[in-house]
Each structure stands twice: as C-alpha cells, then as structure tokens.
Amino acid sequence: MTKKLVIGASGFLGSHVTKQLVKRGDDVRVVIRRTSSTRGIDGLPVEVHHGDIFDPASIRSAMRGCDVVYYCVVDARPWLLDPTPLWRTNVDGLRDVLEIAAEADLYRFVFTSSIGTIGRRPGGVADENTAHNWLDLGGDYIRSRVAAEEMVLRYSAERGLPAVAMCVSNTFGPGDFLPTPHGQLLSAAVHGKMPFYIDGYEAEVVGVEDAARALILAGERGRIGERYIVSERWMSTREIHQIGCRAVGTDPPRRRVPIKLMAAMSHPSSWLARLRGRDSKLTPLNIRLMHIMTPLDHGKAVRELGWRPSPTPEAIAEAAHFFRKTRRAVEGEVR
C-alpha cells in the first residue's frame, strides 16, 4: 500500500485531512514540527516524521515512498507589521518543498491555496477563470498567496509536478484549537464576549470537514495544473454568529457596528501599533480583507471532483459546540 503524506498535519485543515485519510484506511505519514501541538491528531495511527519545510532533508525523507502529498502549511496573519514571515513560509519554504516534490515519483501534489487568489467580480459571481485584479489592495498576505499559487502551477507546467491547487475559503467546524481568526470571533460570540457584530463583514465559508474531503478528492481525480474553489456559500458574520449562538443557547451580539466605522478606527490603531512595535489585528488591511471579495462559484469542484459539500451552517453549529466544550475542559483543568 502506498503512503499519503500530510505536511502541516497539526493545523486545523491538515488535521482533518489526516483524520479522513485514516478513517478510510489509508497508510498515512505526517510531517510536524517538534514544537507543534498534536491535539488535532492525537491517538491516530499515523507515522510521525518530525521536520520542517525549512529542513529539506526531513521533507525528502518524509516524502520517500509516498504517492500523494497534501500540503497544508500557511502563514495567515495579514496584520503583521513585518511581512517577512509571510513570505518566508508562504513562498520561500514552499519553494524548497516543491524542489523535492518535483523530483519525487508522485501521483498528486495537493496544494492548499486560498480564495484570495481568485479575482473579484463586483455584481457577479467569480470562478477559477476570474483573473486576479486586486493585488494592490490585498497587502503582503494576498501577494504572497498569489505568488505561492503561481509558483506551484509553474512547477506543474515546467517541471512536471502533478500539482492541483485548492482555493479554500474560511473554514468552520470542530477542532479549531488555535483558533483561526474567524473562529476566534465565533468563539467570542458563543461565549458572550462579543458585544457587537460587524455590519458589512461578509465572506465565503465552508465546513472544514468538507474542505478536507475536497483535498482528498483532488488527490484522486484533480486535474493536474488546475485550481478548484473550495467554498460552499457566501455569508455575513452576523448570520454566522446567530447560527452559532442559537446552537448553544446563547444570545447573539445585538449591537451593530458598521464596517466603515471599523475601518476608520483601524487607522489610529495601526499607527499606535507601529509606534509600540506590536502587531494589532485592527488594521486597515485586515478590515479591508473582511469585505473586499465577491461571491464565488464552486461548480468546478462539483463537476470534476464529485465534491458534495454539506450546508455550512451545520459546520458552524458544530464549531460553536466545540468552542463551548473546549472552554469547559480548560476551565476544569484550571480548577
């Protein structure tokens, strides 16, 4: 039996890819750093390789004997004052892995990209053929993600890497231990710690288990050199918080704060962050990324991969229960 390799298995999406591969009976190997939390994959019968994308020897060793590689590594912190880590992880580290993968005998290299690489289509619905048209507005995070995807597809075209790029949207569901930035907002809401909702914050969303399933399908039948949108629907943050709070019996945030007001507040916050030399999530770029994109069409993944995503509200409710349960467990440990 050939092995499946998950690079970045300790992350939210990577851990779900790992779980699904194990559940269906695959022989799975994972690459994680020694310092990474293993909460998402604890107890799974997987072969663990301790390594790092910046350690070519560890990646080469882990990739040996594998036919499909799922690459789930990303630095998704657009608010950083110094964007160097974004480029180092999202582009430089990826390049080292691609060099090794291009020489390996792989069936597929499934790359976790972002819907941020898809172009905007105001008043319409964008798809994989919509050229990127907002690079100057996206900051270093989006620039690094676009550069990364272009590099993967270039390796496919020029070096024969059997790569497939999966453009994943905001994921929701259980196991968001970190949590993700959007998961953090939902967690605050279901714990009654979110005094307001941001009116105008709308985005594409998908259940994390459905996103993981899309990656696995791409490893089986994704067309080499193609990219696929992995997103189920367009939702407002108000809807997301209402669904999550309703699931756990908590009142949702009722106060409305227009996103234009948040944008205005972000400027002095950003100036203060630079003055102090400390990162702040309340930056003009971060607020802009909350509402800059337009709705997407995931029909290509349905037609070509056979992907059938479940309604994302179900995943949001599961995420809400997870956040409540996790907090109770932590409080119990403290006591």
Confidence band (pLDDT; 50, 70, 90) for 334?
A: very low
Please indicate, yes or no, whether the overall pTM of this predicted structure exceeds 0.85.
Answer: yes
Domain-embedded: residue 31: yes
Amino acid at 154: R
Q: What is the CATH number of the domain that holds 220?
A: 3.40.50.720
Domain-embedded: residue 219: yes
Whether residue 137 is predicted with pLDDT greater than 80 in this model: the reply is yes
Domain-embedded: residue 118: yes
> In the prediction, which pLDDT does 174 show?
98
Domain-embedded: residue 188: no
Which pLDDT tens digit goes with each residue over 142-176? 999 999 999 999 999 999 999 999 999 999 999 99
> In the prediction, which pLDDT does 331 show?
38
Domain-embedded: residue 160: yes
Ramachandran angles phi, psi of 229, nearest 5°: -80, 125
- The predicted model gives 181-194 an average pLDDT of 96
When divided into structural domains, the chain yields a total of 1
Q: How many CB atoms lie within 10 A of CB 329?
A: 10
Report the Cα 95 to chain-centroid distance in Å.
19
Task: Give me the count of residues in the chain.
Answer: 335
Which pLDDT tens digit goes with each residue over 85-129? 999 999 999 999 999 999 999 999 999 999 999 999 999 999 999
Strands 202-207 vs 233-236: parallel, antiparallel or unpaired:
antiparallel
Domain-embedded: residue 76: yes
CA dist 318 and 301 (Å) reads 24
Domain-embedded: residue 270: no
Whether residue 286 is predicted with pLDDT greater than 80 in this model: the reply is yes
Confidence band (pLDDT; 50, 70, 90) for 2?
A: confident
CA dist 196 and 239 (Å) reads 13
| DSSP state, residue 67 | E
The two three-digit tokens of residue 139, written as one number: 């900051």
Q: Which domain holds residue 211?
A: 3-178+203-233+295-309
Whether residue 328 is predicted with pLDDT greater than 60 in this model: the reply is no
Contact 155, 163 (CB under 8 A): yes
- Residues 6 or more apart whose Cβ sits within 8 Å of residue 193: none
- The predicted model gives 193-197 an average pLDDT of 94
Domain-embedded: residue 165: yes
> In the prediction, which pLDDT does 248 show?
97
